[in-house]
């Protein structure tokens, strides 16, 4: 397991129980989606202006949620 995979697993392990709490009602819980992709960038999503790749699922998420314009991934 490389260091990047270890960080991803550690993040899921730490944050997972926070979102599994039954004390919060369904209306009070935030809708958070973690997307982990390999070899993808903003240039591969049509929500960011890519014309040669169609990503309707991500386009709908971008329309209904938040589309980050200034983000960094190592």
Q: What is the pTM (predicted TM-score) of this model? A: 0.50
Q: Residue 34 is encoded by which pair of tokens? A: 């973690």
Q: Where are the domains of the chain?
A: 14-64
Q: How far apart are CA 62 and CA 69, in angstroms?
A: 11
Q: What is the pLDDT of residue 14?
A: 80
Flag whether pLDDT at 22 surpasses 70: no
Q: What is the pLDDT of residue 25?
A: 61
The pLDDT, as a whole number, for residue 32 is 80
CB atoms within 10 A of CB 59: 15
- DSSP designation for 29: S
Mean pLDDT, range 66-70, rounded to an integer = 81
pLDDT score of 24 more than 60: no
Residues 6+ apart with CB under 8 A from 29: 19
pLDDT at 23: 58
């Amino acid at each position: 397991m490389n260091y990047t995979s270890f960080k991803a697993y550690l993040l899921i392990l730490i944050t997972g129980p926070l979102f599994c709490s039954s004390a919060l009602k369904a209306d009070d819980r935030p809708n958070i989606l973690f997307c982990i992709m390999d070899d993808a960038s903003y240039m591969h999503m049509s929500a960011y202006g890519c014309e040669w790749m169609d990503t309707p699922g991500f386009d709908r998420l971008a329309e209904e949620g938040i589309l980050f314009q200034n983000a960094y991934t190592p």
